[in-house]
Structure 1
């Protein structure tokens, strides 16, 4: 097992200061009518008289509390190795000025480019800047790189997306993601309503907070209003023009993260002299944090090599590394958490790889009707796993029972069947309704019958000819539906079976279509294609993970934190299934500066076995921030719901904010959004 070392002896001493970086105003998100908007920043710098390159991480998640423990692991580490490492809050969030807007909107990206230029102009900076981040920060790092600010020379993007429509938390295969379209929209509503901290902004915190609250809008209403891949989603999707990215890109992902296909596309489409890719066994986390599944790697050391080469001109061989280094997991029993997965690292000099050959498996048998009950998908696991105990999919045997399954044995007298890349399916379907979905899961079946989910994919019937349009299926006609599954590295052991399981529903990941009439699958003309990798013996070596000294944050226990992470409740008489999820983002924590931060969230997904129009999502958030020494005590409560009928989605959102016992803000939003494709 990889053990994280805590590093305190750096080549440089470190100084830290909080500053405000001015970016241009003059938009609806600026404070006031003139001048610039100050973005709150924390800068860790090496103690030296020589200028150094700067590294930027740029997020809406509040550097003084929410990401402070994670920031402390890496920013001082970079500073101790000769970089000015800078963490900045996006406009309208944390202690920055301005008003909150949509994710990755034009203002956010322009601000990011302005911060890059500001950093380059500082007397302590050489003029060369790198940008890094995970999730939101990894996404906007790519998007700012596509704006090509001159000083931005290199990027490290982790668990990010190049395609905001089809590889993010909104849509999958042209279908509405019931799980994170709702859950993350609800989370951002709650998080955007937190006030600035008077410890850092002084007495103006209250007036700034109230202005922000008046500007907040539920993001889910915007997301649901764009159900095909239109101009809204093309904005910020760097896959529209990979050539716009001038910086060198190190793309990093995990096989248990939904964004991992971005790594495969970036190493395929960016010039080989400016890109490298790493995909490990990880969840939605930095690869050095040691959160399951592992093994973790010395990620900070690997990125230091990247920065040293591209920002300092070091001839350290980082660009001599293989184009793509990937983890291939061995067969393993199903579980919702793994401390470490069995497997090995492999190296590929190009992508597509010369070591990978597509192998097609044809289906056999008579046509089969697939009309899955609506709760199929209840064992899908978390869309964005964070390393918690109930994140990953359990045994898939119940899901397989609701699906049409096609098995392909792995001979016992041979080696494992290793795959690396994106499997694909072609399914010959006769639809019973003009709308619907088809979901394909690839599973590893052990000799004892246990079923481990390997990867999956989905296709909305209306998106079969392109995500940018909605074309109803032709009822009663047999048609080929072809789509890719998410990328994976996996070795099916001898004596196991490769299973493709096909269902017509997948709640709560995929929001059900009104008809829910299923389809008939004809094995003749249907096939599974696997990216089979020839076994190679590769010398991929990582240093052990290390980080800077951690932030001393206390985590007092609370009743909410003892709540189960994931509970399935079945009302047998009613035929109703309810999934309750505690996302466990952080719970209660007390920071070294005295801030008490309490956070509780509960997501609920409900559906009846034969009632696609009974689908309902709800998310409840409670956040409290206290500084007892100041007498400061504020709270945020939000409720978010989505229901549907045959013609429309119905969203309901409510925010209540308090200062002490006084309600200072209360607003509700009720929207009806026509179902055009979702």
Structure 2
């Protein structure tokens, strides 16, 4: 079959019922009005003109050549769309998405069947829109997303406050404060820009006002009612990303409607993600769309329910280009059989169950508050130090238990579970558990981790403070993993009371007494499976090339000032200045973020994230500088933000935010 010719409309206005005009970029197969085609819709706040254009241009032309239209729309207040964004996955956003799906289905070139897809925000909202059941939506592909907005996103994790919440608030402040392109909206660009600058929300304020799993987080969490999603869902994620739990949770909740694909990847589309091996996302997606949007009998519904890449002892490195391992398929996902380990009297991790009612064997643990600097970022975009590095530095501040060298390889797929009894002398404390692969040379690779705010030990909706000094039994589920511990390797369990800067500390730091006689570690054994091949993309370099004016740069540093008793974790990202060859628009973004803490003072914690965003053409230059900060007292979170905008050399706008928000059992 020869590729179909197609055209691209760089900007099409779609007017909603309330009069708001949203901006769309459309890839249209030739002859579609005579021979209507299905369409794939993506709805994001990340700016089709300059933000997501490289990945859009790697995928939608391929879809269009296969006879599938692509409709990429900016959410209101983003890119060239009218208005101001009102939050994350709001009722208005989802209602607009349903209206857009109806608009697409009603076009003369449409066959009436629409698919929705996306990664991250777009992966979230396609699941959420599917739960609303718009009639024309027939299938979705959700990448790096979540079914549980409270526990599997960048905000909170089992009641622990993630630093990514500040990072993402700063990111969104930066994205939403950028100007529309005058080449598309004309002379009204500046009025639109000033409206956004004046009215855009500081997302951090709303997120911090909901520190428990309340209705705010239940909204948009399809785990509240999986049955609401009735269309087929292909759910994709990578082990190197923070959204690694979602594919298995989706197949457990959605059943036969869902297929899972899990690779070794960071937070990117599988056809250009790292670490390799990649997957032929275009081929996977086109077959999916043809089956559900065209009713082509191609057998996609018979795909194994789970396909996963099992990592085979990758070593942490400055850059992970390829992770060793193998692909497998499980026709039907079943909750795994668990292999149990306990800690024997001399501290070794042994296969078996803890002795029931054994006398307490208490060991005291109080990690330095800067334990966790080897954790990498929760939200990973590159396979470098954003990933967890060698764990030996973090293990130095942790309590560790490990097996003898394995006499044969052990394979696992699923979520490990830690159970233990402990005592706390304070009402609040955090516990972090890490599963680590110890290589024969001592290198330590993080396999999985989990964190728990102990006040949330019995649930995230109605937390309860600890009773000081009282024995408390807890169950901590770690993140999903697919991993082979090789022959001669050791399995290590590392426990710490801090995991900074990924997790912000509670206001009290008195340590925990752990009853290691009660400790149980349950590992999800790899069940019945077939070893398979997953096709890699034909094009190994699918992203378009833009004109480079200034190169990019990345730095991650940990600075320990022993005189000041302070540790700084410093992140610097520069995208470089690149010009789109078709639009002449050049853009550059700088992220400068610093987290600071004194290793013995949880109230010394502070984070600052600054984004500088430039857009330019000959004779036109605009810049925004967005800043977000967080600090704390024992009782409150202290947040602040600012946005400053420049046209040329002139400052044309400045706005500041400042808020004190009470801490809620954190």
Do the aligned residues in 2 keep the contact of 1:607 with 1:615 (CA within 8 Å)?
A: yes
Residue 546 of structure 1, CA deviation: 3.6
Instruction: Report the equivalent of 1:29.
Output: none
- In 2, distance between residues paired with 1:556 and 1:389? 24
TM-score (norm 2): 0.95
- In 2, distance between residues paired with 1:377 and 1:244? 39
| Structure 1 segment 400-411 matched on structure 2, within 5 A | 400-411=395-406
Residue 351 of structure 1, CA deviation: 2.1
Residue 100 of structure 1, CA deviation: 1.4
Do the aligned residues in 2 keep the contact of 1:325 with 1:540 (CA within 8 Å)?
A: no
Structure 1 residues 336 and 228: CA distance shift in structure 2, 3 A: farther
| Structure 1 segment 635-650 matched on structure 2, within 5 A | 635-650=623-638
Do the aligned residues in 1 keep the contact of 2:465 with 2:665 (CA within 8 Å)?
A: no
Deviations along 1:438-465, one digit per CA (max 9) or x if unpaired, are: 0000000112222111110000011111
- Which segment drifts farther, 373-382 or 543-552? 543-552
Deviations along 1:258-302, one digit per CA (max 9) or x if unpaired, are: 112111111111131x2111001011000001x321101111101
SS in 2 for 1:270: helix
Instruction: Report the equivalent of 1:439.
Output: 432
Do the aligned residues in 1 keep the contact of 2:415 with 2:481 (CA within 8 Å)?
A: yes
| Structure 1 segment 541-580 matched on structure 2, within 5 A | 541-546=534-539, 550-558=543-551, 561-562=552-553, 564-580=554-570
SS in 2 for 1:143: helix
- In 2, distance between residues paired with 1:59 and 1:10? 31
Residue 537 of structure 1, CA deviation: 4.1
- In 2, distance between residues paired with 1:375 and 1:275? 40
- In 2, distance between residues paired with 1:106 and 1:546? 39
Instruction: Report the equivalent of 1:187.
Output: 171
Residue 556 of structure 1, CA deviation: 2.4
Instruction: Please state if 1:340 is matched with 2:322.
Output: yes
Residue 340 of structure 1, CA deviation: 0.8
Instruction: Report the equivalent of 2:38.
Output: 53
- Which segment drifts farther, 360-369 or 155-164? 360-369
Do the aligned residues in 2 keep the contact of 1:336 with 1:393 (CA within 8 Å)?
A: no
TM-score (norm 1): 0.93
Structure 1 residues 86 and 117: CA distance shift in structure 2, 3 A: same
Residue 544 of structure 1, CA deviation: 3.0
Residue 677 of structure 1, CA deviation: 2.5
| Structure 1 segment 217-616 matched on structure 2, within 5 A | 217-272=201-256, 274-289=257-272, 291-353=273-335, 356-365=336-345, 366-412=361-407, 414=408, 416-534=409-527, 536-546=529-539, 550-558=543-551, 561-562=552-553, 564-584=554-574, 586-592=575-581, 593-616=583-606
Residue 534 of structure 1, CA deviation: 4.3
- In 2, distance between residues paired with 1:674 and 1:588? 41
Instruction: Please state if 1:64 is matched with 2:49.
Output: yes
Do the aligned residues in 2 keep the contact of 1:418 with 1:535 (CA within 8 Å)?
A: no
Instruction: Please state if 1:169 is matched with 2:154.
Output: yes
- Residue of 128, 131, 140 corresponding to 2:125: 140
Structure 1 residues 432 and 417: CA distance shift in structure 2, 3 A: same
Structure 1 residues 271 and 616: CA distance shift in structure 2, 3 A: same
Do the aligned residues in 1 keep the contact of 2:235 with 2:258 (CA within 8 Å)?
A: yes
Do the aligned residues in 2 keep the contact of 1:323 with 1:348 (CA within 8 Å)?
A: yes
- In 2, distance between residues paired with 1:548 and 1:601? 26
- In 2, distance between residues paired with 1:551 and 1:444? 38
SS in 2 for 1:472: coil
- In 2, distance between residues paired with 1:555 and 1:352? 49
Tell me, which stretches of 5 or more residues in structure 2 are unaligned? 346-360
Deviations along 1:116-169, one digit per CA (max 9) or x if unpaired, are: 110000000000000010001111111111111000000000001111111000
Instruction: Please state if 1:204 is matched with 2:188.
Output: yes
Structure 1 residues 622 and 136: CA distance shift in structure 2, 3 A: same
SS in 1 for 2:659: strand
SS in 1 for 2:16: strand
Do the aligned residues in 1 keep the contact of 2:330 with 2:528 (CA within 8 Å)?
A: no
- Residue of 86, 101, 105 corresponding to 2:71: 86
Structure 1 residues 334 and 271: CA distance shift in structure 2, 3 A: closer
Instruction: Report the equivalent of 1:657.
Output: 645
Tell me, which stretches of 5 or more residues in structure 1 are unaligned? 1-8, 26-35
Deviations along 1:334-354, one digit per CA (max 9) or x if unpaired, are: 22431111100111122225x
Do the aligned residues in 2 keep the contact of 1:554 with 1:589 (CA within 8 Å)?
A: yes
- In 2, distance between residues paired with 1:395 and 1:647? 35
- In 2, distance between residues paired with 1:426 and 1:478? 13
SS in 2 for 1:640: strand
Deviations along 1:302-360, one digit per CA (max 9) or x if unpaired, are: 1111111111111111111110000001013222431111100111122225xx31111
Structure 1 residues 547 and 491: CA distance shift in structure 2, 3 A: closer
SS in 2 for 1:211: helix
Instruction: Report the equivalent of 2:357.
Output: none
- In 2, distance between residues paired with 1:233 and 1:369? 35
Residue 539 of structure 1, CA deviation: 2.7
